[in-house]
Amino acid sequence: MHMMAYMRFNKEKGIKFHCNGNDEPIIFSDAAFNPDPVDGLSQYGYCAMWMGGPIASVSKKLAHVGLSSFHNEYMAIRHAAAEAMWVRQLLTEIGCECFVRSPTKIFGDNDAANNLCSEDFISTGNKYIYTPYHWIKELVKGKFIEVHRKPTKENLSDLYTKPCVREVCSILIDRLKGYAGWS
């Protein structure tokens, strides 16, 4: 209902792109750890931003049951990495490779998941992760992506995974639509 009220009172305000926005695409990734009681799957989401506005986003259930918040976040980063590669390849194909010369930054809010993207270690918390999710490691080593920390309250993809309080929602929606920058 909050989202419907927001949309009603902001119907004249669209998405804004601008030349002084981020000239290289960036992606925000998040996953919730509130499994659906029917199938055990949790929600994940990501948002790709370029030139200050959103160019792609997803909000859906993970394909596999996550056993922890860390596990869900790592799976969500894998999906965000796939989107990053698609954006990079598209920009290169249309002659805009100057926008993807450095690794695409993916922002997540789970330190353990972020660290696993670039470090090779086996622990009791990650030994059960399906091998295809470790494709992220290849992308990091190949310098196609970099995974960085973004605090939860600044992570735009929080809007895609869980209900946010009104104040956080207002700030994130303005950033998502290109009306405010992100730190």
We report the CATH number of the domain holding residue 151 as: 3.30.420.10
- Residue 105 belongs to domain spanning: 26-51+65-176
Name the residue with higher pLDDT: 91 or 4: 91
Does 181 map to a domain?
no
- What are 103-159's pLDDT values in tens digits? 999 999 999 999 999 988 777 777 788 888 999 999 999 999 999 999 988 888 888
Any domain includes 119: yes
Which residue, 30, 160, 153, 48, is CA-closest to 104?
Answer: 48
Handedness of CA 88, 103, 58, 64 (dihedral sign): positive
Kindly state the greatest CA–CA separation across the chain.
51
Residue 172 above 90 pLDDT? no
pTM over 0.75? The answer is yes
- The token pair at 116 is 């696993």
First to last CA, the chain: 29
More confident residue, 3 or 171: 171
Overall number of domains in the chain: 1
Predicted local distance difference test score (pLDDT) of residue 182: 55
Question: What 3-state DSSP class applies to 7?
Answer: helix
